[in-house]
Chain A
Amino acid sequence: MAIITNLFKKSPFGPIVEHAKKVHECLEMIKPLMEALIYENYELIHELQNKVSKLEYEADLIKHQIREDLPRRFFLPVDREELDGFLECQEKMADYAQDFAIILRIRQTKLHPHVQDKFFDLVDQMFQVSGSLLTAAVEIKNLAEASFGGAEARQVLSLIKGLGEEEWKADKLARSLSIDIYKLEGKIGTIDIIFYEKMLLKIGAIANEAENAGDFLRAMIVK
């Protein structure tokens, strides 16, 4: 048998792009969920929550496949730990999207009109972060083609550079939303406030993980 066939192993970068896309599909369910919440369409929330769970499961499968195809004895063009970290962050993002759907699902919470706009702003800002990350992550296959250097790498690095600032904006929004939520004390039930806070934390966490994933991606490129 030709030795050469044993030498080459499947490159993980194609599946990584697939994984990143799948994770983002999970995140894309957040906006419809919020809209369903405003219209108090709890049936739709139930449906969407099922959809997120399914997507999250599919993302998990891709991740497992990547891990399975990459035993430690393989020699990769990027640092192994950073690759694992990157996948871990992506996985957490999908997990949090699923958690968010479950928070909406387990209790028929009503969203008070005073916080609605800021909630949507926060979701949009989170998408700013995760969207930039996706744009960078889908380039990873081309990065591998350019051996993680040169113009292609510079392009991706500049994308990642913006992530920190976008995440900081998301943090700021979350803080101000938090203040607004506590202003509603006494006007709405305490449980409502707890649930608002839960939702807010998950969205903030997604933005945060997207930034972390960006950090890992940067470290992978720079090596």
Chain B
Amino acid sequence: MTIADAGSGLSWNVVGDVRHALDYAFMVNALRAGTVVAVMAAAIGWFMVLRRQSFAGHTIAVVGFPGAAGATLVGVSALVGYFGFCVLAALVISMVPRSGGRAFSAENAVTGTVQAVLLAFGFLFVSLYRGDLNGVDALLFGSFLGVTPTQVVTLFFVALGALGALAVMARPLLFASVDPDVARARGVPVGALSTAFLVLLGLAAAEASQITGSLLVFALLVMPAATAQRLTPRPALALALAVAVAMMVTWLALMAAFYSPYPIGFWVTTLAFAAYVSAGALAGHRRRRARPPAVTS
């Protein structure tokens, strides 16, 4: 186990490559932050996919962009902007009355409009800032440079709190997600759970934005969860699998981004999508070998 030649590129010695990358403090911070984010995003994302709220999750994540841009404009940390705006967006979305089914069209029109107008505000803030326009790309598509140790600590404690809350409400939330009508009849506070979950989703989206940027949050929020759900119908196993997939994707993407000229956003989405597609292929293969009727999603 020799350390790869310092300063050289990728070699066949995997351990050496990893050590070489870890010689840089920013990579250590990025890996720490990435791990925290991956665990939280995958766990909350699993419930999100189950509840078919991908669109809401995407909108909440996108809201992080004006949040971060606005925070930069007024001179506050971008992290404050991410968290503030994402949670606010979650609360707003939870207040939109859901008349009818989950795919009710007015709800989608509202969510879509909210998303567009917030992106427009982000653009406005950036153009008012008149600073480096390349910063837009980092906010939208992620960057693993410049994660500070303080940020890692903040990310860690927010994730801890959110996962604790999720653990407390996991069982009733699962019930309410799978069969809201029966759950409501059995006295489960479906509405309150839905609001609380959206707030957690806001926190998860804000955290994931740190690594993937506002627009690519799906890579950590949806794809690991969807991958896991394609592989197993059992909730606990799927949850663990989603977390594992998200962590692998994040670590590999960070390493790939370190050793290649291509951005982290590209790697994280490509690896996550590869996992999703191969899980689909595997599930299809398994289903063909098993009995004809099969449970999906």
A binds B: no
User: What is A's interface to B at a CB cutoff of 8 Å?
Assistant: none
Binding site for A on B (CB under 8 A): none
